[in-house]
Amino acid sequence: MHIVVDCSHCGRQYDATGYTVGSRFRCHCSVILTVEAHVPAAPVAPPPVQTQAQSQAPSERLGSRLAANVEGGGIETAVVRCSACGAPRGDGLNCDHCGSSFARYERDRTGICPYCTSRVSEAARFCHGCGNALTGGQAIGHQTDMACPSCGSEHRMHQRELGPDLSLLECSRCAGLWLDKRTFEHVVRRAEEMITEVPAGQASGPPGGRSVAGAGTNSIRYRPCPVCNTLMNRSQYGRYSRVIVDTCKEHGVWLDEGELTQILEWVRDGGLERARQTRHEKRKDEIRMQMMQARFDQSNEDKRGGRNAYRGGTDSLLLQLFR
């Protein structure tokens, strides 16, 4: 069965065929989407007279069905019926009840509309039930042999394409992301290019009140790299982002759900550039303190050993600072 999942935030549609019910993946707009269960309605014999549901307007019938789906906790998919007698469609080319041949659109209804759950043709551009446009769905990505560092070896990650020669791995259970070094550097660089101006004098961290991602837990968990299986280091990205990430020096970065969004927002807000400026100022302060200490030491040497010792000490200091 062809399953299409739509994003209620941006309207993009994704081909989720092959994904298990409850699997999660990330839309391009960063919203986490879940593959819902589509339960076929129980087949019933065609009624001899028109029912109240059939006498309702199409919009009323759609609203009633969606309301029933919400109350039942699942998404009920309409049964495809023979257009001649109304009996449920079988697997053959002809109706098992009246013998009429199924039309092409009746045989091809293997897809499901993500808006109203009506059965639709995979070639349809619009749903015949609700009229919404059907884009066919972007491919989510194929499953890989890489185990999720957070969920364990029983859960394999799916590959998501970001562009030419760029991709990431995503766990359909926890929605965490694995980015190799090249891909992570690319997305951070793209985020930096979106900076319009870095306000001077602002704090390097995110807006006040935001806690460190992953902090506050009683136990610190070190996760294995999905490539080399070595336990990764935990560190705060950029020293001031307040996002704790798992990093393998050789292969890449593991990010829990929501952490990539927090990092990119911090970078676009100028946080990475402010962090560089802060480190530069700290380094300058360290050099000033070293020079002050060196002058104090040389002053004592001058008192004990004369001007030649002072001159030699100054030369040594300059060589050390510019080495």
Q: What confidence tens digit (pLDDT) does each residue in 64-86 have? A: 444 444 444 444 445 566 766 76
Q: Give the structural domain span for 190.
A: 143-269
Running DSSP on this structure, what letter comes out for residue 75?
A: E
Residue 243 or residue 42, greater confidence: 243
Q: Looking at residue 317, what is its pLDDT?
A: 52
Dump pLDDT digits (tens) for 42-58: 444 444 544 554 444 44
Pair (265, 285) in one structural domain: no
Pair (263, 171) in one structural domain: yes
Residue 247 has pLDDT above 90, yes or no: yes
Pair (263, 204) in one structural domain: yes
Whose structure tokens read 């298990």?
20
Indicate the number of domains in the chain: 3
Q: Looking at residue 309, what is its pLDDT?
A: 47
- Per-residue burial over 103-140, b = 16 or more CB atoms within 10 Å of its CB, e = otherwise: eeebebbebbbbbbbbbbbeebeebebbeeebeebeeb
Residue 127 has pLDDT above 60, yes or no: yes
Residue 268 or residue 299, greater confidence: 268
The alpha-helical segments, DSSP class H, found in 34-153 are 52-55, 58-72, 104-107
Pair (147, 59) in one structural domain: no
Residue 249 has pLDDT above 90, yes or no: yes
Mean pLDDT of 293-321: 63
Token pair of 63, please?
Answer: 């609203």
Per the DSSP assignment, residues forming a β-bridge with 234 are: 246
Token pair of 215, please?
Answer: 């902090």
Q: Looking at residue 44, what is its pLDDT?
A: 46
Question: Is the pTM higher than 0.75?
Answer: no
Residue 294 neighbours by CB under 8 Å, 6+ apart:
313, 317
Residue 41 has pLDDT above 80, yes or no: no
Pair (6, 101) in one structural domain: yes
Q: Looking at residue 184, what is its pLDDT?
A: 93
Pair (151, 209) in one structural domain: yes
Q: Looking at residue 231, what is its pLDDT?
A: 96
What gap in Å lies between CA 36 and CA 6, rounded to an integer? 11
Q: Looking at residue 216, what is its pLDDT?
A: 44
Burial (0-12, 13-18, 19+ Cβ within 10 Å), 36:
middle
Residue 258 has pLDDT above 80, yes or no: yes
Whose structure tokens read 């045989």?
107
Name the domain boundary from 269, 284, 306.
269
What gap in Å lies between CA 311 and CA 315, rounded to an integer? 6
Q: What is the mean pLDDT of the chain?
A: 72
From residue 215, how far is each of 173, 201, 235, 245 by CA, in Å?
Answer: 21, 27, 11, 11
Mean pLDDT of 126-139: 69
Most confident residue range from 82-86, 196-200, 213-217: 82-86
Pair (44, 136) in one structural domain: yes
Whose structure tokens read 């902090």?
215
Pair (12, 134) in one structural domain: yes
Q: Looking at residue 292, what is its pLDDT?
A: 83
Pair (164, 257) in one structural domain: yes
Q: Looking at residue 149, what is its pLDDT?
A: 94
Pair (237, 293) in one structural domain: no
From residue 221, how far is each of 174, 244, 301 by CA, in Å?
Answer: 15, 12, 52
Pair (21, 122) in one structural domain: yes
Token pair of 248, please?
Answer: 């393998």
Most confident residue range from 114-123, 125-134, 195-204, 289-298: 289-298
- State the first-to-last Cα distance of the chain, in angstroms, to the nearest integer: 68
Most confident residue range from 89-93, 120-124, 266-270, 307-311: 266-270
- Per-residue burial over 43-54, b = 16 or more CB atoms within 10 Å of its CB, e = otherwise: eeeeeeeeeeee
Q: Looking at residue 254, what is its pLDDT?
A: 96
